[in-house]
C-alpha cells in the first residue's frame, strides 16, 4: 500500500515538473509535443493507482492474500489496460488518434482532439470513479460522516475541472489547469486520509502517552521526543551504557532495554518484580527440597542399615540353629569317645562333623557377603569345581567312618551359593546315612540333565535295609524335615530307587531357582 501511495505522489510531482519544463521550451516543437504526451502518463497512473489502492484497503499489510483466479484476471486485466493506454498515447505521432498537432500562428504548436480522445479519457474517468465507489463502499461504516462529505466534495471538484477541460469550456486558463488538478488531487487524498477512508499511521503520541509499557523515543540531541506516562527518565550516560552492553540492564525492579532506531533511540522498561518474586520462591522451594532430600537420604541409609542388620541377624539365627543342633551332636560324640568300642570310628565321626560345621559356617558368611578369606564382598556364586573339592574333602574324613566315595563332576560352570549350600547339606546327609548303616562304598555323580541340576548317589547298601513292615521307606523317613523343607523351597525332588544289590538316591534341582 505504501508503494501505491508513493506512486501517486511521484505522479503528481512529475505532472507539475513536466508542466513547468514545457512552459520554458515552447519553440522546440518535437520536445513540446512529447512533453504534452508525457502529461497523460501521470494522468493515467493516478486513476489506476487509486483503484489498486481501493482494492487493497481491507487487506492486512505484509499478509499473503488468497490469489483466486478472479483476482488474478482483474489484476492483470487492469495492468493490460494501463500499459495499453500508455503505449497508445506515447505512439500518438504514428496514428494521431489521441491528439492531432499542427503549427499555428506565431510558430506555436496547436493540438486538436483525435477520434480516440474522448473514449480514452472516458476510460480514465471510469477507472477513477470505480476506485471512488469501492472506497465509498468500504468506508460506509465510518462514523465521521462530515469528513466523508468533504472527501467527496474534493473529488467532485476534480471531476468538474477535468470534465470542463475535456469539453473545452474550462473556467481556468490552460496553464493553470495542471496546478489546479494537482492541488485538488492532494486535497482529495488528504481528506480521504483524514476521514479514515485511506488508512495511515498516525496517533503515535496518543499511543505512547496511554501505553501501559514504560517506553520513550529519544532524538539524537538527547531530548525525549515521545514518552508514555509511566516512562522513567534516564541519564544519557546510563542509556549509552545500555547501548554498549547490547543487553538489558537491571535497575532495581526493572530491566531497561535500549536500541538504536532511525533518527534516535528507543528505550523501554520491563517490570520484573513478579519474576524476582517467582525466582525467590523457586530458590526457597529448591532449598526445601534439598533439605527434604537430605533427610530422606539419611532415612534411607538408616532403613538400609537396619534391614542389613536384620538380615544378618536372621542368617546368624539360622546359623545358630544349625550349629546348636550339630554342636549338641558333636558334644555327645566327644563325651562318648573315651568309652567307645571303636575309638577310630568315633574319632572319624567327630572329624567329619567338625569339617561339615566349619564349611557350613563359611557358606553362611558368604551369603552374608562377609567372607573373611576373600576381599571380594560381592560373591554371589562359586565355581562348581569348588563344590567337587569340598565333596572330596568331606569324603576323606568319611573314610574314618567306613564310607568310601568316588566323586564325578560332569558340569563346568558356576553355582549360586544357595545351591552350593543345599547340595553340600544333602551330600553330608548321605554320608551320615551311610555311616549309621555301618559304612558303604558309593559313587557320587553331579551333572546337568535338561533344565535340572542332578546329584546322584549309588551306595553299596542292601535294598532290604530300607524295607519296613509298612512298605518301602520314603525320603521323609531317611532325611531331616529341615533338609526336605529346604529342598522343597527350590522346587527340588528326592528320589529313591531299589536295584538288585544296591539302591539309588538322587536329588534334582531346577536351574531356575526357588519360587519368589
Window from 62-71, 127-136, 278-287 with minimum mean pLDDT: 62-71
The pLDDT of residue 402: 85
Q: Which of 118, 122, 98, 116 is CA-nearest to residue 37?
A: 98
For residue 494, what are the β-bridge partners?
507
Query: In this predicted model, which residue has the larger pLDDT, 233 or 375?
Result: 233
Average of per-residue pLDDT across 234-245: 83
CB contact at 8 A, 177 and 164: no
The pLDDT of residue 144: 61
Tell me the pLDDT band of 127, cut-offs 50, 70 and 90.
confident
SS (H, E, C) 61-130: CCCCCCCCHHHHHHHHHHHHHHHHHHHHHHCHHHHCCCEEEEECHHHCEEEEECCCHHHHHHHHHHHHHH
Average of per-residue pLDDT across 213-230: 82
Tell me the pLDDT band of 379, cut-offs 50, 70 and 90.
very low
Position 389 pLDDT exceeds 60: yes
Cα 204–Cα 185–Cα 175 angle in degrees, nearest 5: 140
Please write the tens of the pLDDT for every residue from 263-279.
788 888 888 888 888 88
Average of per-residue pLDDT across 481-503: 82
- Highest average pLDDT, of 55-69, 173-187, 444-458, comes from 444-458
Q: How far apart are CA 208 and CA 215, in angstroms?
A: 7
Average of per-residue pLDDT across 147-171: 66
Position 376 pLDDT exceeds 60: no
Residues 6+ apart with CB under 8 A from 501: 460, 462, 463
The pLDDT of residue 289: 92
SS (H, E, C) 141-172: CCCCHHHHHHHHHHHHHHHHHHHHHHCCCCCC
For residue 403, what are the β-bridge partners?
440
Task: Walk across the sheet containing 249-251 and list its strands.
Answer: 224-227, 215-218, 264-271, 254-261, 249-251
The pLDDT of residue 90: 86
| pLDDT > 90 in the chain, percent | 3
The region, left, alpha or beta by phi > 0 then psi within -120 to 50, assigned to residue 459 is beta
Q: What is the mean pLDDT of the chain?
A: 77
**489: part of which helix (H) or strand (E)?**
helix 481-489
Tell me the pLDDT band of 214, cut-offs 50, 70 and 90.
confident
Please write the tens of the pLDDT for every residue from 411-420.
888 888 888 8
Set of cell numbers at residue 431: 554320608
Please write the tens of the pLDDT for every residue from 302-360.
998 888 788 777 767 766 776 777 777 878 888 887 877 777 888 888 888 888 888 87
For residue 382, what are the β-bridge partners?
415
The pLDDT of residue 147: 62
The pLDDT of residue 360: 78
Q: How far apart are CA 476 and CA 495, in angstroms?
A: 11
Instruction: Give pTM, 2 decimals.
Output: 0.42
| pLDDT > 70 in the chain, percent | 76
CB contact at 8 A, 74 and 21: no
Residue 291 backbone dihedrals phi, psi, to 5 degrees: -65, -45
CA dist list (Å): 203 to 144, 182, 242, 301, 464: 17, 27, 28, 70, 120
Amino acid at each position: 500500500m505504501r508503494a501505491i501511495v508513493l506512486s501517486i505522489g511521484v505522479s503528481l510531482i512529475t505532472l507539475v515538473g513536466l508542466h513547468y519544463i514545457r512552459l520554458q521550451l515552447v519553440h522546440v516543437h518535437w520536445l513540446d509535443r512529447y512533453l504534452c504526451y508525457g502529461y497523460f502518463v501521470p494522468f493515467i497512473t493516478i486513476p489506476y493507482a487509486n483503484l489498486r489502492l481501493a482494492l487493497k484497503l481491507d487487506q492486512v499489510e505484509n499478509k499473503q492474500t488468497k490469489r483466486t483466479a478472479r483476482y488474478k484476471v482483474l489484476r492483470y486485466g487492469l495492468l493490460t489496460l494501463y500499459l495499453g493506454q500508455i503505449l497508445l498515447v506515447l505512439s500518438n505521432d504514428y496514428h494521431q488518434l489521441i491528439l492531432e498537432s499542427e503549427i499555428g500562428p506565431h510558430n506555436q504548436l496547436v493540438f486538436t482532439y483525435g477520434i480516440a480522445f474522448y473514449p480514452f479519457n472516458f476510460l480514465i474517468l471510469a477507472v477513477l470513479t470505480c476506485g471512488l465507489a469501492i472506497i465509498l463502499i468500504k468506508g460506509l461504516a465510518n462514523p465521521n460522516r462530515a469528513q466523508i462529505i468533504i472527501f467527496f466534495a474534493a473529488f467532485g471538484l476534480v471531476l468538474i475541472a477535468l470534465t470542463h477541460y475535456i469539453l473545452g469550456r474550462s473556467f481556468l486558463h490552460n496553464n493553470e489547469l495542471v496546478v489546479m488538478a494537482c492541488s485538488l488531487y492532494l486535497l482529495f487524498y488528504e481528506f480521504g486520509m483524514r476521514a479514515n477512508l485511506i488508512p495511515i499511521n498516525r496517533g503515535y503520541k496518543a499511543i505512547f502517552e496511554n501505553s501501559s509499557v514504560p517506553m520513550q523515543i529519544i532524538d539524537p540531541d538527547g531530548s525525549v521526543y515521545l514518552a508514555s506516562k509511566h516512562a522513567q527518565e534516564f541519564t544519557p550516560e546510563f542509556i549509552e551504557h545500555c547501548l554498549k552492553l547490547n543487553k538489558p540492564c537491571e535497575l532495581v525492579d526493572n530491566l531497561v532495554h535500549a536500541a538504536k532506531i532511525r533518527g534516535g533511540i528507543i528505550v523501554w522498561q520491563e517490570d520484573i518484580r513478579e519474576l524476582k518474586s517467582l525466582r525467590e520462591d523457586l530458590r526457597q522451594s529448591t532449598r526445601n527440597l534439598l533439605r527434604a532430600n537430605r533427610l530422606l537420604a539419611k532415612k534411607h541409609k538408616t532403613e538400609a542399615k537396619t534391614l542389613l542388620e536384620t538380615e544378618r541377624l536372621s542368617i546368624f539365627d539360622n546359623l545358630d540353629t544349625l550349629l546348636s543342633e550339630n554342636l549338641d551332636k558333636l558334644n555327645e560324640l566327644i563325651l562318648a569317645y573315651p568309652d567307645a568300642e571303636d575309638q577310630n570310628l568315633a574319632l572319624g565321626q567327630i572329624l567329619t562333623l567338625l569339617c561339615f560345621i566349619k564349611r557350613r559356617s563359611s557358606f553362611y558368611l558368604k551369603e552374608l557377603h562377609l567372607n573373611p578369606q576373600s576381599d571380594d564382598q560381592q560373591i554371589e556364586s562359586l565355581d562348581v569345581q569348588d563344590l567337587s573339592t569340598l565333596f572330596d574333602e568331606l569324603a576323606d574324613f568319611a573314610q574314618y567312618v567306613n564310607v568310601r566315595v568316588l566323586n564325578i563332576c560332569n558340569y563346568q560352570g558356576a553355582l549360586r551359593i544357595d545351591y552350593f549350600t543345599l547340595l553340600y547339606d544333602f551330600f553330608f546327609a548321605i554320608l551320615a546315612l551311610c555311616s549309621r548303616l555301618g559304612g558303604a562304598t558309593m559313587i557320587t555323580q553331579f551333572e546337568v540333565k535338561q533344565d535340572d541340576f542332578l546329584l546322584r548317589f549309588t551306595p553299596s547298601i542292601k535294598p532290604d535295609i530300607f524295607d519296613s513292615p509298612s512298605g518301602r521307606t520314603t525320603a521323609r523317613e531317611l532325611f531331616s524335615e529341615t533338609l526336605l523343607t529346604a529342598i522343597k523351597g527350590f522346587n527340588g525332588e528326592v528320589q529313591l530307587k531299589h536295584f538288585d544289590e544296591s539302591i539309588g538316591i538322587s536329588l534334582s534341582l531346577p536351574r531356575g531357582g526357588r519360587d519368589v
